[in-house]
Chain A
Amino acid sequence: MKRIAFRNARLIDPASGLDAKGGLLVENGRIADVGPRLFNDAEPNDPEVIDCRGLILAPGLIDARVFTGEPGAEHRESLESASAAAAAGGVTGMIVMPNTDPVIDEPSLVDFLLRRAAATARVRVHPAAALTKGLLGETMTEMGLLKEAGAVAFTDGDRSVANARVFRRALSYAATFDVLVISHAEDPELVKGASATEGEFATRLGIPAAPAIAEAMMVERDIRLVELTGARLHFAQISTRAALEAIAAAKARGLPVTCGVAAHHLTLNELDVGAYYTFRKMRPPLRSEADRAAMVEGVASGVIDVIVSSHEPQGADTKRQPYASAAAGTVGLETLLPAALSLSHNGDAGLSQILAALTAAPARIFGLPGGTLARGAPADLVLLDENEPFVVDAGKLRSRAHNSAFEGRKFQGRAKATFVGGECVFDAR
């Protein structure tokens, strides 16, 4: 029986509200015991003892929005390289989007991903399958068979389903199997060709831009369809106050909706695009400062359930382009935790609340084991130093792609060691 004793830790378990000094015992990959008094009476007498030296021991992060290049674009990111970046960021589970080549819209492809992950990845990989075949927004996928194969949710990734009839039927069908649908909320026609948020700044730069309401319009439509069909819907990443208010109202009415926000929409605004800095071109684009502040408020108030990296690897070929032609997206697995912790350092949200949005909340919404320090849970853990200052050096990121929107950014707090099923997958102590 393999045992690891963590002692002298600050235990934070948002799922139970625990925040106390104490210890944690791992047996055979699961949490066997945890608590403030563990190891108080006697030093653990185990083959492996980890002295946490007062650092925070928390459930490993679950990143609910990760794009990789496997299958089809492994030169940008493989499951292996993404998982190395994840481990270095304290992420022990990642939900991977189906926007690959081929698209993950077949039970056999979910099976393939899970087998590849088991063979190559250091962290847990949870496939999200396509909601419509080929991500074309026309015909729904085999949600029952895909769920049986291991898909944890259904989404067209970074595409919205424009056709309300198709989306309505897909939601009805999803409700039949009680599976979660993830929506990317942007009116596709309204944002076509745009690479920024409409406003003074985009006008000055002369960048094609779309109005911020393109997001709330889709959120409001989707909420109506949730009300009609009873399906569970998660908005992958919202970025505007209008969307936040629509979701808050839907939640108040008891509708089964949840939402996420990307770390970059909590920490950057449209002005950070600066002089056509393509690494900060996103979908949805960076928003006004008022909208960024609203996102921070949303995390603090709990209307926003999860914080995601929206990790999207791009190569020099797709990013070293004039702004309008460059691809959108940023890598983010390794900067998710530091960026989220900035809310705590700024006094905008409590540490436990931020960690809840990175652990317990995604575990609950996606029905995953983990995200908690409870006895019997998988020993997916992160040991983190919430105060360690560092500067992001994109060249040193483990991700195969280095398109970080946070290049050069100063952060405080990072993962020092990461454990998946009790196995150490990253160690920077």
Chain B
Amino acid sequence: MTSADHSPILRSKHLLGIDGLSPLDIVALLDLAETYVVQGRASDKKTALLRGRTLINLFFESSTRTQSSFELAGKRLGADVMNMSVKTSSVSKGETLIDTASTLNAMRPDILVVRHQDAGAAELLSRKLDCSVINAGDGAHEHPTQALLDALTIRRHRGSFEGLVVAICGDVLHSRVARSNLRLLSMMGAQVRLVAPRTLLPCDAERFGVEVYTDMKSGLAGADIVMMLRLQLERMSGAFVPSAREYFRFYGLDREKLSVAKPGALVMHPGPMNRGVEIASDIADDVQVSLIAEQVEMGVALRMAILDALSRGMT
């Protein structure tokens, strides 16, 4: 059960970032993903679209949901999926990456999904490999499939993006999710706000065409969507934020802060969550406002759509 029309969707053979996609590309991918949502809810979830194709998950950073989401997406489309988790040594990362690339290239994969701690790693691999490369997160640069699955989730609840107020809250500085999301949402006509202490805001954030807030209640006032970001543990012990308790007091999403958002506002989180740090448990678990579980479901469907779209250019 795939889109009957197999015409090409993407101009590029890679998906390296939201940069490089047009609004039409995005709409086409989201439309295609809708068909995979249906397929994912059927009892027979599997097709043979990618039968004979090889997909390699190459993760230099640990990941549970993204890696398993790609694995499931590949398997549901009938591809052979191989997971490679690479423990990096601190020495000569550049060399290791290129060496790894040429080794993998010799195995003749069709699609490589890569996550790496350094920005630009996916782009580098795309130049060294013959197959399609999907960026599953590179440093603090981009995580395009997360932004696309977030967009799919939002569109299913709000219909369109035009004029939606989306507040992205938390560790924007280190977040590739925030960067991909603000690119995509701005492109699609949403009004994006960034909410964070100044220590977690990137330099010149205003120049991305977003509004920047350091006071969370001001930033959430009238928001349609509240998108929380994960704060990594090592960043809450003094260097960027003095403590988890202070962070939760001023930047954690609780009922009181959420109350200033638009009535019916929805809450998202890319996971994994730190309950009591960036989000209160009762909000995370409230199915009336939290889209967190749905984001995971949309992740598989969206990644199936990406694999489908990239495979259309393959001979």
B-binding residues in A (CB < 8 A): 133, 138-145, 169, 172-173, 175-176, 229-230
Task: Indicate if the CB atoms of A173 and B238 lie closer than 8 Å.
Answer: no
Residues of chain A with a CB closer than 8 A to B240's CB: 169
Residues of chain A with a CB closer than 8 A to B197's CB: 172-173, 176
B218 within 8 A of A: no
Q: Which chain B residues (101-156) contact chain A, with CB distance < 8 Å?
A: none
B233 within 8 A of A: no
9-residue interface stretch from B36-44, B53-61, B242-250: B242-250
Residues of chain A with a CB closer than 8 A to B237's CB: 139
Residues of chain A with a CB closer than 8 A to B198's CB: 172-173, 175-176, 229-230
B12 within 8 A of A: no
Give, as a whole number of angstroms, the nearest-CB distance from A231 to chain B.
9
Task: Indicate if the CB atoms of B199 and A139 lie closer than 8 Å.
Answer: no
Task: Indicate if the CB atoms of B239 and A173 lie closer than 8 Å.
Answer: no
Q: How far is the CA of A230 from the CA of B212 in the complex (A)?
A: 15
Q: How far is the CA of A173 from the CA of B249 in the complex (A)?
A: 15
Residues of chain A with a CB closer than 8 A to B35's CB: none
Task: Indicate if the CB atoms of B214 and A140 lie closer than 8 Å.
Answer: no
Residues of chain B with a CB closer than 8 A to A173's CB: 197-199, 241-242
Task: Indicate if the CB atoms of A176 and B249 lie closer than 8 Å.
Answer: no
Residues of chain A with a CB closer than 8 A to B245's CB: 142, 145
Give, as a whole number of angstroms, the nearest-CB distance from B236 to chain A.
11
Partner of B239, one of A143, A169, A230: A169
Evaluate whether A169 and B199 lie within 8 angstroms (CB atoms) in the complex, with A144-B249, A145-B249 already known.
yes
Residues of chain B with a CB closer than 8 A to A169's CB: 199, 239-240
Q: How far is the CA of A287 from the CA of B153 in the complex (A)?
A: 67
Residues of chain B with a CB closer than 8 A to A229's CB: 198
Sampled A-B contacts (14; CB under 8 Å): A138-B238, A140-B238, A142-B242, A142-B245, A142-B246, A145-B249, A169-B199, A169-B239, A172-B198, A173-B197, A173-B199, A173-B241, A176-B197, A176-B199
Interface string of B212-245 (1 = CB under 8 A from A): 0010000000000000000000000111111101
Q: How far is the CA of A140 from the CA of B240 in the complex (A)?
A: 8
| B-side interface mostly | loop
Residues of chain A with a CB closer than 8 A to B241's CB: 173
Task: Indicate if the CB atoms of B238 and A139 lie closer than 8 Å.
Answer: yes
Closest B residue to A174 using CB positions: B198
Task: Indicate if the CB atoms of B238 and A133 lie closer than 8 Å.
Answer: yes
Give, as a whole number of angstroms, the nearest-CB distance from A277 to chain B.
42
Residues of chain A with a CB closer than 8 A to B214's CB: 175-176
Interface string of B249-260 (1 = CB under 8 A from A): 110000000000
Give, as a whole number of angstroms, the nearest-CB distance from B27 to chain A.
38
Closest B residue to A140 using CB positions: B242
Residues of chain A with a CB closer than 8 A to B243's CB: 142
Give, as a whole number of angstroms, the nearest-CB distance from A377 to chain B.
29
Q: How far is the CA of A186 from the CA of B189 in the complex (A)?
A: 51
Q: How far is the CA of A394 from the CA of B249 in the complex (A)?
A: 48
Closest A residue to B196 using CB positions: A176
Closest A residue to B238 using CB positions: A139
Give, as a whole number of angstroms, the nearest-CB distance from B205 to chain A.
13
Give, as a whole number of angstroms, the nearest-CB distance from B207 to chain A.
16
Residues of chain A with a CB closer than 8 A to B250's CB: 144
Residues of chain B with a CB closer than 8 A to A230's CB: 198
Task: Indicate if the CB atoms of B239 and A172 lie closer than 8 Å.
Answer: no
Give, as a whole number of angstroms, the nearest-CB distance from B252 to chain A.
12
Q: A139-B238, A173-B197 are in contact. List 10 more A-B contacts (CB 8 A).
A: A133-B242, A139-B237, A139-B239, A140-B238, A140-B242, A142-B246, A173-B198, A173-B241, A173-B242, A176-B197
Give, as a whole number of angstroms, the nearest-CB distance from A213 to chain B.
30
Q: How far is the CA of A252 from the CA of B245 in the complex (A)?
A: 40
Q: How far is the CA of A133 from the CA of B239 in the complex (A)?
A: 11
Q: How far is the CA of A133 from the CA of B246 in the complex (A)?
A: 14
Q: Which 9 A-B pairs have the closest CB atoms?
A: A139-B238, A142-B246, A172-B198, A176-B197, A142-B242, A176-B198, A176-B214, A172-B199, A173-B199
Task: Indicate if the CB atoms of B199 and A141 lie closer than 8 Å.
Answer: no
Give, as a whole number of angstroms, the nearest-CB distance from A202 to chain B.
38
Residues of chain A with a CB closer than 8 A to B246's CB: 142-145
Closest A residue to B241 using CB positions: A173
Closest B residue to A145 using CB positions: B246
Give, as a whole number of angstroms, the nearest-CB distance from A140 to chain B.
5
Give, as a whole number of angstroms, the nearest-CB distance from A138 to chain B.
7
Give, as a whole number of angstroms, the nearest-CB distance from A353 to chain B.
36
Give, as a whole number of angstroms, the nearest-CB distance from B204 to chain A.
12
Residues of chain B with a CB closer than 8 A to A144's CB: 246, 249-250
